[in-house]
Amino acid sequence: MGKLLRSENKKIAGVCAGLAEHFGWKNVGNVRLVWFLLAILGLGAPVLFYLILWFQLPTKTRVEKMNFEERMNRRLGR
């Protein structure tokens, strides 16, 4: 299991696909369906969590393009 990242295989922001890739789940559609059902039944809390993940998780291409100094600052929380 690697670092949690947003995926390039995305419908909206790549959060569900990133979760599926992180945990090794093959069917991203099931993750999206469960997230959708939780958003309806959870009265919006999962939608807020999705938005937080959207803005906090980097994409794979962004992480690959970062130089050493940026990666170290990110790791140290600066």
pLDDT at 1: 62
pLDDT at 30: 92
pLDDT at 74: 74
Question: Could you give the C-alpha distances from 14 to 1, 34, 52, 62, 66, in angstroms and in order?
Answer: 18, 15, 13, 13, 19
pLDDT at 37: 92
Coil, helix or strand at residue 6: strand
Q: Can you give the pLDDT of all 78 residues of the chain as single tens digits?
A: 668 888 887 888 889 999 998 898 889 999 999 999 998 998 788 889 889 999 888 887 766 666 777 777 877 877
pTM above 0.85, yes or no: no
